[in-house]
A = this chain, B = another copy of it.
Amino acid sequence: MAASDFLQLNPAEAPRGGMSDWLAREIRRAVAEGLLPAGSRLPATRVLADELGVSRGVVTEAYRRLTEDGHVAGHGRAGTIVLSAPLARPTTAPDAPHAPGPPNTPLTPATPAAPATPDADAGVSGGSGVTGALGTPRAPGVPRTSGPPGTGMLFAVPPGTGVFDALRAAPARIDLSPGLPDLASFPRTAWLRAERTVLAGLVPADFGYGDPRGTPALRRAVARWLAVNRGIAADPDEVLIVAGTAQALGLLALVLRDEGVTRVALEDPSSLGIRQHLHNSGLESPPVPVDARGVRVDALRATGARVALLTPAHQFPTGVVLDGARRRELAAWARDGGLIIEDDYDAEHRYDRPPVPALRATLTEHVAYAGSVSKLLAPALRVGWLLAPRRYRDALVDAKRFADLGNAALPQLVLAQLMESGALERQLRFLRRRHRVRRDAMIAAIADSMPEAVVHGAAAGLHLMVTLPPGHDDTALAAAALERGVKVQPLSWHTQRPGRPGLVLGYAASTPTAAREGVAILGDLLSGPA
């Protein structure tokens, strides 16, 4: 099969003089439709040019545009690799540099194993679109009643504030909860060695009360880490060390509420935990749809919210990477007076190419940037950082001081040591390799055992989102899975507007064997009683 066949290309459709545009658009469509899943390879430029009867420059130029968009990346002799499956058709912005995307027709993944994309507008909200990919859709095999005894509260609708504690405490053989790196890889020896070094070097005053902003050593190390890994040029004085992103949000909420802010726009879908956090702080969370190019900035504008909490590098849970055009739209929104809270929760985990730079890198005074070591090392460390626009800094330091007088010193210093010695960078490289294998294994398992499921998102992060045919009750599915010893989170937990059912599946903390077994159980539940 020729590459152009595979891509279903017909050069006769190309407008005169616009061949590169046309080709880029068609490839984008093919990616969106799942014909070219994330991780697959584009034809070599010479091969495709020959097949289409165009000059090689036309293909090179098309590939260059796709690279700029973040949809593909050149990997030297490995060729050009598809990175992210856009969520079907982006809505057209007035300044959209390229033609509209593919027609919004129901799509079917080309092969069972291929990650596909959700339908337009939030990926999970549409009622039409993606149906069972293979054969006829099956009747949902999961009852729509609430969960089995013991998990009824856990899977109550809407979920209560203790839902994550309850899920964590529930016994299960296989934990596919999202948000965890491979915990078995925690570098115990390096940590202990660093702690020994730190303890030997401390002066007595280091055991006293400290700077509520954090130890100078860690603030320096974080500033360097962010420069290298996230493209952020920050002075250590801008860095506020916090007890994880949860605390960063709490402190910001306090300061913003004092300023009169009552609403923080949230991507929809987005993390239930974060939504609960905002509500706990007395803030409303107007939902903003997410499509294949990321958050819909036009819809954000329409909410009237002054503040938006976003996950641009790897949208949670859809896995979409905010594209260039949307970044520009967002920058315009911010410059019109908007504040972006950038939750950069797993940005370092990109498996196909270096991660896109943080929004903070270019919008310093419009972005409050939150990161943590929860996905780099372990959530149990409760260490993160917040870089806010200058006008908020004093109030945030006050808020941190009154919250807890500052993070504990020893873990900060150990972490600084791990960052400065290169141990954390080595750990990240190790995790990236391991997580990528686990991601591939889970995608294969889903193709094998859950053919109804459509996998979404870029080759990044610690979790996958899958959507299911309409009619499934994802909460009931998660409850039934827990009964069978498998922990998963229903997608509906993470949506504000009614949408497509689905699951958010963490793969990073489970062995491929466990993930396969867990996915097989999910598939079994989906296909119903034999």
* Given A192-B195, A199-B188, A408-B381, also A402-B207 (CB < 8 A): no
Q: Is A378 touching B192 in the complex (CB atoms < 8 A)?
A: no
| Choice from B180, B247, B398, B411 contacting A403 with Cβ under 8 Å | B247
Q: Is A406 touching B382 in the complex (CB atoms < 8 A)?
A: yes
Q: Is the C-beta of A236 less than 8 angstroms from some C-beta in chain B?
A: no
Q: Is the C-beta of A165 less than 8 angstroms from some C-beta in chain B?
A: yes
Contacts A168-B208, A246-B401 known; 9 new A-B pairs at CB < 8 A: A165-B401, A192-B195, A209-B379, A243-B405, A250-B403, A281-B402, A381-B408, A382-B404, A408-B408
Q: Is B281 touching A246 in the complex (CB atoms < 8 A)?
A: no
Query: What CA separation (Å) do A407 and B380 show in the bound complex?
Result: 8
Q: Is B246 touching A404 in the complex (CB atoms < 8 A)?
A: yes
Q: Is A403 touching B192 in the complex (CB atoms < 8 A)?
A: no
Q: Is the C-beta of A244 less than 8 angstroms from some C-beta in chain B?
A: yes
Q: Is B280 touching A402 in the complex (CB atoms < 8 A)?
A: yes
Q: Is B208 touching A183 in the complex (CB atoms < 8 A)?
A: yes
Q: Is B380 touching A209 in the complex (CB atoms < 8 A)?
A: yes
Interface digits, A351-389 against B, CB 8 Å rule (1 contact, 0 not)? 000000000000000000000000001111111000000
**A397 / chain B contacts, CB cutoff of 8 Å:** 162
**A379 / chain B contacts, CB cutoff of 8 Å:** 207-210, 405
Complex A-B, nearest 6 residue pairs according to Cβ-Cβ distance, in ascending order: A207-B378, A243-B404, A183-B204, A380-B409, A382-B408, A183-B207
**A179 / chain B contacts, CB cutoff of 8 Å:** 209
Chain A contact residue count (CB 8 A cutoff): 61
Question: What are 30 sample pairs from A and B whose C-beta atoms fall under 8 A apart?
Answer: A161-B398, A161-B402, A162-B397, A162-B398, A164-B209, A165-B211, A168-B208, A168-B211, A175-B205, A180-B208, A183-B206, A183-B207, A192-B192, A192-B196, A195-B195, A206-B380, A207-B377, A208-B379, A208-B380, A210-B379, A243-B404, A243-B405, A244-B404, A246-B403, A280-B402, A381-B410, A382-B409, A383-B408, A408-B408, A411-B411
| Choice from B169, B192, B402 contacting A277 with Cβ under 8 Å | B402
**A406 / chain B contacts, CB cutoff of 8 Å:** 382
Q: Is A402 touching B246 in the complex (CB atoms < 8 A)?
A: yes
Shortest Cβ distance from A206 into B: residue:
B380
Query: What CA separation (Å) do A405 and B243 show in the bound complex?
Result: 9
Q: Is the C-beta of A509 less than 8 angstroms from some C-beta in chain B?
A: yes
**A276 / chain B contacts, CB cutoff of 8 Å:** 402
Q: For residue A336, give the distance in angstroms from its CB to the closest CB of chain B.
A: 31
Shortest Cβ distance from A245 into B: residue:
B405
Q: Is the C-beta of A6 less than 8 angstroms from some C-beta in chain B?
A: no
Q: Is the C-beta of A212 less than 8 angstroms from some C-beta in chain B?
A: yes
Query: What CA separation (Å) do A381 and B406 show in the bound complex?
Result: 10
Q: Is the C-beta of A430 less than 8 angstroms from some C-beta in chain B?
A: no
Q: Is the C-beta of A392 less than 8 angstroms from some C-beta in chain B?
A: no
**A209 / chain B contacts, CB cutoff of 8 Å:** 164, 168, 179-180, 379-380
**A509 / chain B contacts, CB cutoff of 8 Å:** 204, 208
Interface digits, A293-306 against B, CB 8 Å rule (1 contact, 0 not)? 00000000000000
Q: For residue A315, give the distance in angstroms from its CB to the closest CB of chain B.
A: 21
Query: What CA separation (Å) do A40 and B31 show in the bound complex?
Result: 76
Q: Is the C-beta of A530 less than 8 angstroms from some C-beta in chain B?
A: no
Q: Which of A242, A383, A397, A403 has the most chain B CB atoms inside 10 A of its CB?
A: A403
Query: What CA separation (Å) do A206 and B168 show in the bound complex?
Result: 11
* Given A180-B208, A183-B208, A207-B378, also A398-B280 (CB < 8 A): yes
